[in-house]
Chains A and B, each alone.
Chain A
Amino acid sequence: MAKKILIIEDEPVMLKTLELLFRKKGYEVITATNGKEAMEQIRAHAPDAVITDVMMPYLPGTEIISRLRHELKNEKTPVVVISSVELDSLVEEVFALGANDFIRKPIVPAELVARVEKLLVS
């Protein structure tokens, strides 16, 4: 059975591109355009991995990770954060909250897929 990936991104073009990229690789992809919708998708579908942007309406990516890890007590689902923000403090923050990987934009598509695959295997 195909593994489920939740992609959370507020920019529709980026979201569509990432969705098709992972679909092509054989994954089942669920999408969300904001933090609130993302939390509903996590509760409803229990994805195998989460890819999230940081700056989003309603709930930022950091809050999503925090709720996933602490509120839903989900320690297993790997979370990959993608962001164009270059602050080291942000990287430290997302890892401290429980993210598994951090990728800065611009993204190398093959690298993103490889990192997610590696996390899913491990």
Chain B
Amino acid sequence: MNNVVDVLQHIIPYPFWARYIAPYQSWFEAQPPFIRFALVVIVLALAAILFMYALLIITRLHYHWKQHRETQFRQKAEALIIEHVMLHPDIETRSPEQITLPDGIFRQTLGLQRRWQKQVLIDVMMYYHKNFAGKTAQVLRRLYIQLRLDKLSYRKLRSWRWNRKIQGLHELAEMQLQVPEVTMLELTTSRNRVLRMEAQAAYIRLSKNEPFKFFDHLTGRLLPWEQLFLFEVITHTQGLTIPSFSRWLHYSENTDLKLFCLKLIVHFNQFNAIPAVMKLLEHRDAQVRAAAIDTLGQLEAVDAEDQLVQLYVDQPITCQVAILRALGHIRSGQYLHFLREEFLRSQDYAVRKEAARALIAHGDEELIQSLLQHAPEERKRTLEHCLDPLIKY
């Protein structure tokens, strides 16, 4: 314990020690060792609490000061954009390339020497670029490049922090600037899920030649949320060249990608993909088979009907239900007897219900009425359930 006192004596300045601590030194040394130990712990804990509070206050003050500084700067930047871009006197009469850029005024007024200043200006420009299109957006893009703000966005792609990389990708994608494909391809297979999603979205938006090339390299999972996100990007990106998604049904070993491509085939009505989808009916994974069957149904592939019925017996319930649903979509009328038999004989409720739906979809009133009159009570109730337009499931 005396060693601790010696150490403290060395750390604490002598005048402070002599005035506030030395008078209690003899009292402290007279105490039993465990009391001395407890006193040291108490003093250290109090000091730590005071230090933490001080740190907390300083951090908060610093944060508020930064917020205030950025708000002031943001207001200045917004005022400049409104005055010199939105209300530019030539914006209605000249083409965006002919408009004299106000980069000098921006540099003079905003300084733009520090990184945070550039970042706030980028954020403001992004906001305007997202909300305004046409010449305004084109002038903003030119100004962004002229002020060399793109350099900061490109630099972010090399950052070790994943959120910075995403920020960089967002900015470059919004401003429609080229990013080297090698850099983007590497990011599309990142282990970080958020970064991977953003990189894939950016790749689709920015790649001029092959916006879906990263599908070739996709080996990991493509989770439902990621699929939804990509679907949004694919269906909302203007001027995107849509390839035949059957390509990846053949070549990719990735089950998630196959399922996603099937959804895209349906969305874009790619009827030329039907032969490739039919090959998936022999896939080892029942989930893929069921999705392929559903795709064929939604594409109303009459040619697939015979094969679907032939496969029916050997399939698990999920695939059998998908086949019945597909027959209901195709509605050729060739397999009404098969549907009727399944409806009357199957022991599984899901199968009976889907068969009833498929029968109703065929629109054969006579057959439906006959079933309502002669089918067993439980089957009749299933049919009535499916006939009710207010019941969706």
Contacts and interface: CB of A to CB of B under 8 A. Distances in A.
A16 B137 CA distance: 17
A86 B237 CA distance: 13
A114 to B, nearest CB: 10
Contacts of B134: 108-111
A21 B136 CA distance: 12
Given A16-B78, A16-B82, A24 B133 contact: no
Interface stretch (B55-63, B124-132, B178-186, B335-343): B124-132
Contacts of A1: none
Contacts of B91: 110
B87 interface: yes
Given A86-B236, A109-B136, A110-B92, A20 B131 contact: no
**For chain A, what secondary structure do more than half of its interface residues adopt (helix, strand, loop), or is it mixed?**
helix
Sorting the interface of chain A by its residue count into under 10, 10 to 19, 20 to 34 or 35 or more gives 10 to 19
B135 interface: yes
A121 interface: no
Contact of B132 (A16, A24, A86, A108): A108
A111 B134 CA distance: 9
A17 B85 CA distance: 11
Nearest to B87: A24
Contacts of A111: 134
Interface residues of B, number: 18
Contact of B78 (A13, A24, A110): A13
Contacts of B99: none
Nearest to B127: A13
A17 B130 contact: no
A21 B133 CA distance: 14
B70 to A, nearest CB: 14
- In this complex, the member of B92, B127, B131, B134 whose beta carbon has the largest number of chain A beta carbons within 10 angstroms is B131
A105 B82 contact: no
A6 B124 CA distance: 25
**For chain B, what secondary structure do more than half of its interface residues adopt (helix, strand, loop), or is it mixed?**
helix
B86 interface: yes
A113 to B, nearest CB: 9
A106 B130 CA distance: 6
Interface in B86-143: 86-87, 91-92, 127-137
Contacts, number: 41
B358 to A, nearest CB: 29
Given A13-B127, A86-B236, A108 B133 contact: yes
A108 B86 CA distance: 10
A2 interface: no
Interface string B260-298: 000000000000000000000000000000000000000
Contacts of A105: 130-131
B23 to A, nearest CB: 62
Nearest to A82: B131
Given A16-B82, A20-B82, A106 B87 contact: no
Interface in B123-169: 127-137
Contacts of A16: 78, 82
Contact of A107 (B87, B133, B135): B133
A14 interface: yes
B353 to A, nearest CB: 29
A21 B78 contact: no
A21 B87 contact: yes
Given A13-B78, A16-B78, A109 B132 contact: yes
A107 B132 contact: yes
Contacts of B78: 13, 16
A79 B236 CA distance: 27
Interface in A94-108: 105-108
A20 B130 CA distance: 19
A58 B132 CA distance: 26
B137 A106 contact: yes
Nearest to A111: B134
Contacts of B82: 16-17, 20
A21 B86 contact: yes
A98 to B, nearest CB: 25
B243 to A, nearest CB: 24
Given A16-B82, A106-B131, A107-B133, 16 more contacts: A13-B127, A16-B78, A17-B82, A17-B86, A20-B82, A20-B86, A21-B87, A24-B87, A105-B131, A106-B137, A107-B132, A108-B132, A108-B134, A108-B135, A110-B91, A110-B92
Q: Which 3 A-B pairs have the closest CB atoms?
A: A108-B134, A106-B133, A108-B133
5 contacts: A17-B82, A20-B82, A106-B131, A106-B132, A106-B137
